[in-house]
Amino acid sequence: MQDFTQAFVLAFELVFSGDADLIEIIVLSLRVSLTAMVVACVLGLPLGAILAITRFPGRGPALVVLNALMGLPPVVVGLIVYLHLSRAGPMGSFGLLYTPTAMIIAQVILIMPIIAALSRQVLEDLNNEYAEQFRSLSVPRHAAIQALIWDARFSLMTVALAGFGRAIAEVGAVIIVGGNIDHLTRVMTTAIALETSKGDLPLALALGLVLLTIAFAVNAAVMSLRLTTGRYANV
Amino acid sequence: MKSATPLLAAAALMAILSTSPIAAEQSILLQSTTSTKNSGFYDHILPLFKAETGITVHVVAVGSGQAIKNARNCDADVLLVHAKADEENFVAKGFGVKRHRLMYNDFIIVGPAADPAKINTLKDAPAALIRIAQTKTLFVSRGDTSGTHKKEQTLWRSAGINVIAASGKWYRETGSGMGATLNAAVAMGAYALTDRATWIAFKNKQGFNIHVEGDKALLNQYGIILVNKARCPTTKTNAGQRFIDWLTSPTGQAAIQGFRRNGQQLFFPNAAKN
Amino acid sequence: MSEPGRSSLLPLHTKGLTLDYDGARYINAIDLTLQTEKLTVVMGPNGAGKSLLLRLLHGLIPPTMGQVCWNNIPMSDAIRQRQAMVFQRPVLLRRSVAANIDFVLGIKGEAKRDRRDEILDNVGLLDFARQPARSLSVGEQQRLALARALATEPEVLFLDEPTASLDPASVLAIEQIVTRAHQNGTRIIFVTHELGQARRLADEVVFLHRGQLTEHSSASTFFNDPTSEAAKAYLEGRILL
């Protein structure tokens, strides 16, 4: 229990001392995971919308596969991305391994299915309400997708946050493709893994508390955005 | 106006995120071991090297086996590990230019203060292992083809004990790095083989002690190798060679000599003069 | 409101129009002809198939058998674009009142600001333009849905019991807007099961009973001298099974 007390004190000190290394790690964590979230949304939302409003043979199995991919093990994703980005791999010539870009790619693969599957559910529910009216108004499909995504934007923010939460919390993929290189690819989770392996459990725990605080801050920011601009969605 | 707010926020976010902080400075990629990294060795050495040459060294710390594998995939410019036979094999196969002896320290057997297998009085490592096996006392192994794991396997072989048969019983393989394995040993009250540098820097000791040390069989030799440009055309040969030259030079060797944790020297330079 | 040089959508002909679902027949071989310029009210007891007939005429669902022809041309997406429909429960976008109108004006690619204000003014909702559409009362929401439908300048407007759950003032407001649209040349096809409303609005009545067309006559004929047993029973408030 003494470790916990020590961890809280340490976490406090870390945050308020403005430690440059810690800030660098936090900024990189946010940069990687927020970028991954944005890219995953750009790819995943339209995919979710298409699955929500179209009916085609094999749609059922496609949904099962998509839902199953929500449980992709990060280590497997990391390994697959590593094998592609390694100099000896098919995309090795881009020199992306052990860069933040590689970490973003891995996280996009990890959370894109989450965003597509959850947004599919949200958009399908809304589409059930809108579909007949849209057909009556002869709304073109692309305009219907845009309208659904826009009108469901506050629910979809929660979906995006679910993806972001998974991205910023995972360690298995980024430690393989990022390499946990100091001042280059070290993020919160890999730093926690490193301190744990050094046996510095209070510091690891303190970093965990900082990570938790960041996740809390991001969620609070989105929630306040929702409260200030979200009244259209609540009625 | 209101409906535009989230869009603007998203656009601003994208603008912030798209700026890359990685400057195009000269850098090399070093594949190395968890023991060197976790002990803080690179935090001491690399700033000195950078001050002198302007070259940034990016370190990926994994087990020696994994490090060698990554280097074979050309995902490294320089390799710094402790698995002599594998290193020589790496050079013989043409992946590395030349193996340089760099520094050494030693392996130790650590365990709970109560010393349940009573190995504290032994100076001979294989003899200690035999006693652990006979008493079926818990022993935690890396189990990850790292340099430490290979050394441990060699020691079991010279003790004449087949630990594979005991795997999952008193012999437990974590398949993890040195730190994770030590955490596991501490949590289980088990013995473990570790390099001294990791042990000195390790903070979660919880009353564990060194029980066996000083046996010649426990020598831990580190080597450094430049990845061969003939096999891996992207290798930064010049910067990589400068790193090797510097570490094996009197300046670099003195820097290794000067690295201390808790007042103790962790690595002993022994680069061969060419 | 058909433009010069563009042929009218009317008359409407249906031939053997039939809709089956899950083995049951909901619309049974309806042959119907609707001419220009009338205000047609579709009547019938609950479950008679009024709403389904409207959806078939508007092309929202395909018939199992038979055909819908507008001015001798089979129903198509192009024809539906010249029509609009107001549903029993208004389906409004989760946006402001103004944005709901902009949404359809955008589709038509018009310079829209003045036009939108004019449309909202027309249904008495201009003061609410900035409010979230779903914060309006149900009556106001239905007026907005009606305004949005009219904003597309339809040649034919379908209304599916639009006042079913509204207070009298709202009912009156809706009826006034519909009557004005009719006077401006929009062909109205209005479903209701309310006799008073039918009497107030109808030029002619189409009466359905259990998926069949049992009577199609002028309003005065229908209300004073109905021919079918089902219509007589309905007008007298008897239940006919």
Per the model's pLDDT, the better-predicted residue between B210 and A219 turns out to be B210
Query: Is A160's pLDDT higher than 90?
Result: yes
What span, in angstroms and rounded, lies between the C-alpha atoms of C176 and C170?
Answer: 10
Q: Is C241 contained in some domain?
A: no
Confidence of residue A16 (pLDDT cuts 50, 70, 90): confident
Each residue of A148-159: b (16+ CB within 10 Å) or e? bbbbbbbbbbeb
Residue B13 has what pLDDT? 47
Closest CB to A98 among B20, B60, B180: B60
The answer to whether A228 contacts chain C (CB < 8 Å) is no
What span, in angstroms and rounded, lies between the C-alpha atoms of C150 and C146?
Answer: 6
Query: Is C114's pLDDT higher than 90?
Result: no
H/E/C letters for each residue in B208-258?
Answer: CEEEECCCHHHEEEEEEEEECCCCCCCCCHHHHHHHHHHHHCHHHHHHHHC
The answer to whether A154 contacts chain B (CB < 8 Å) is no
- 3-state SS class at C3: coil
Q: C-alpha B151: how far from its chain's center? A: 13
Which of C22, B62, B185, B104 lies closest to A193 in space, CA to CA? B62
The answer to whether B3 contacts chain C (CB < 8 Å) is yes
A143–C58 CB contact, under 8 Å: no
DSSP state of B83: -
What span, in angstroms and rounded, lies between the C-alpha atoms of A116 and A50?
Answer: 10
The answer to whether A139 contacts chain C (CB < 8 Å) is yes
Q: pLDDT tens across C66-93, in order?
A: 999 999 999 999 999 999 999 999 999 9
Residue C109 has what pLDDT? 52
Chains touching chain A, criterion 3+ CB pairs below 8 Å:
B, C
What span, in angstroms and rounded, lies between the C-alpha atoms of B27 and B240?
Answer: 9
Fold classified for A23-189: MetI-like fold (1.10.3720)
Please list the residue range(s) of chain B that carry CATH number 3.40.190.10: 26-104+221-269, 106-218
Each residue of C14-28: b (16+ CB within 10 Å) or e? beebbbeeeeeebbb
What span, in angstroms and rounded, lies between the C-alpha atoms of A181 and B152?
Answer: 28
What span, in angstroms and rounded, lies between the C-alpha atoms of B187 and C227?
Answer: 93
What span, in angstroms and rounded, lies between the C-alpha atoms of B204 and C128?
Answer: 66
What's the angle, vertex CA C138, arms to CA C134 and CA C142, rounded to 5? 90
Tokens linked to C38 = 């009338």
Phi–psi pair at B228, nearest 5 degrees: -80, 120
Burial class (CB within 10 angstroms; exposed 0-12, middle 13-18, buried 19+) of B189: middle
What span, in angstroms and rounded, lies between the C-alpha atoms of B88 and C165?
Answer: 87
Q: Which of A136, A226, A234 best tests the C interface by mutation, with the highest count of C CBs <10 A?
A: A136
- CATH code, domain with C75: 3.40.50.300
Residue A112 has what pLDDT? 97
Q: How far is B82 from chain A (nearest CA, A)?
A: 19
Residue B186 has what pLDDT? 92
Per the model's pLDDT, the better-predicted residue between C237 and C84 turns out to be C84
Give the C-alpha distances (Å, rounded to integers) separating B62 from A31, B146, B220, B227. Answer: 25, 8, 17, 17
Instruction: Tell me the average pLDDT of chain A.
Output: 90
B1 Cβ contact list (under 8 Å, min separation 6)? none
What span, in angstroms and rounded, lies between the C-alpha atoms of A1 and B228?
Answer: 51
The rounded percent of chain A whose pLDDT value lies above 70 is 96
Q: Which of A10, A156, A182, A192 best tests the B interface by mutation, with the highest count of B CBs <10 A?
A: A182
A31–B17 CB contact, under 8 Å: yes
What span, in angstroms and rounded, lies between the C-alpha atoms of B67 and B70?
Answer: 5
B191 Cβ contact list (under 8 Å, min separation 6)? B109, B110, B111, B117, B119, B132, B137, B138, B139, B140, B185, B211
Q: Is C5 contained in some domain?
A: no
| ipTM reported for the complex, 2 dp | 0.89
Strand extents, DSSP E, chain B: 27-33, 56-62, 78-81, 96-111, 139-141, 171-173, 191-195, 209-212, 219-227, 260-261, 264-265, 268-269
Q: pLDDT tens across A185-203, in order?
A: 999 999 999 888 888 888 8
Contact residues on chain B for A228, CB-CB shorter than 8 A: 5
Which of C124, C118, C16 lies closest to C66 in space, CA to CA? C16
What's the angle, vertex CA B85, arms to CA B79 and CA B87, rounded to 5? 15
What span, in angstroms and rounded, lies between the C-alpha atoms of A10 and A210?
Answer: 10
Search chain C and give the residue with CA nearest B1: C130
Residue C138 has what pLDDT? 93
C84–A137 CB contact, under 8 Å: yes
Q: How far is A39 from chain C (nearest CA, A)?
A: 26
Contact residues on chain B for A232, CB-CB shorter than 8 A: 3
Which residue is it, tokens 């290394």?
A21
Mean pLDDT of the region C62-68 = 95
C96–A232 CB contact, under 8 Å: yes
Which residue is it, tokens 């060797």?
B253
Burial class (CB within 10 angstroms; exposed 0-12, middle 13-18, buried 19+) of C107: middle
Closest CB to A135 among C60, C96, C103: C60
Closest CB to B75 among A97, A196, A198: A97
CB A94 within 8 A of CB C48: no
Q: pLDDT tens across C4-27, in order?
A: 445 689 899 999 999 999 989 999
C60–A132 CB contact, under 8 Å: yes
H/E/C letters for each residue in A95-138?
Answer: CCCCCHHHHHHHHHHHHHHHHHHHHHHHHHHHHHHHHHHHHHCC
Burial class (CB within 10 angstroms; exposed 0-12, middle 13-18, buried 19+) of B104: middle
Q: pLDDT tens across A47-82, in order?
A: 999 999 998 999 999 999 999 999 999 999 999 999
C58–A136 CB contact, under 8 Å: yes
C87–A132 CB contact, under 8 Å: yes
What span, in angstroms and rounded, lies between the C-alpha atoms of C48 and C215?
Answer: 13
Whole-prediction pTM: 0.81
Q: How far is C103 from chain B (nearest CA, A)?
A: 14
Q: pLDDT tens across B42-73, in order?
A: 999 999 999 999 999 999 999 899 999 999 99
Give the torsion sign (CA, B51, B56, B60, B64).
negative
Q: In this structure, how many other beta carbons lie within 10 angstroms of the beta carbon of residue B248?
A: 22
Q: Selecting from 3.60.15.10, 3.40.50.300, 2.60.40.10, 3.40.190.10, what CATH number does the domain B106-218 have?
A: 3.40.190.10
The answer to whether A137 contacts chain C (CB < 8 Å) is yes
Tell me the residue range of the domain where C172 lies.
Answer: 12-236
The answer to whether A162 contacts chain C (CB < 8 Å) is no
The answer to whether C147 contacts chain A (CB < 8 Å) is no
What span, in angstroms and rounded, lies between the C-alpha atoms of B54 and B52?
Answer: 6
What's the CATH superfamily of B26-104+221-269? Answer: Periplasmic binding protein-like II (3.40.190.10)
Phi–psi pair at B33, nearest 5 degrees: -105, 160
Confidence of residue C112 (pLDDT cuts 50, 70, 90): confident
Q: How many interface pairs between A and B have CB atoms less than 8 angstroms apart?
A: 87
B58–A184 CB contact, under 8 Å: yes
Phi–psi pair at B5, nearest 5 degrees: -55, -50
- 3-state SS class at C240: coil
Which residue is it, tokens 């929009």?
C186
Q: pLDDT tens across C177-212, in order?
A: 999 999 999 999 999 988 999 999 999 999 999 999
Q: How far is A144 from chain C (nearest CA, A)?
A: 11
A195 Cβ contact list (under 8 Å, min separation 6)? A201, A203, A204, A207
The number of domains in chain C is 1
Bridge partners for C204 per DSSP: C40, C218
Rounded to the nearest 10 degrees, how much is the dihedral formed by the CA atoms of B164, B165, B169, B171? -30
Q: Which of residues 151-210 of B touch C (CB under 8 A)?
A: none
C136 Cβ contact list (under 8 Å, min separation 6)? C97, C125, C128, C144
Mean pLDDT by 10 residues, chain B (274 residues): 42 45 70 90 96 95 92 95 94 96 96 95 94 96 91 95 91 90 92 94 92 94 96 94 96 95 92 68
Residue C111 has what pLDDT? 67
Search chain C and give the residue with CA nearest A139: C107
Query: Is A19's pLDDT higher than 50?
Result: yes
Residue A14 has what pLDDT? 82
- 3-state SS class at C182: helix
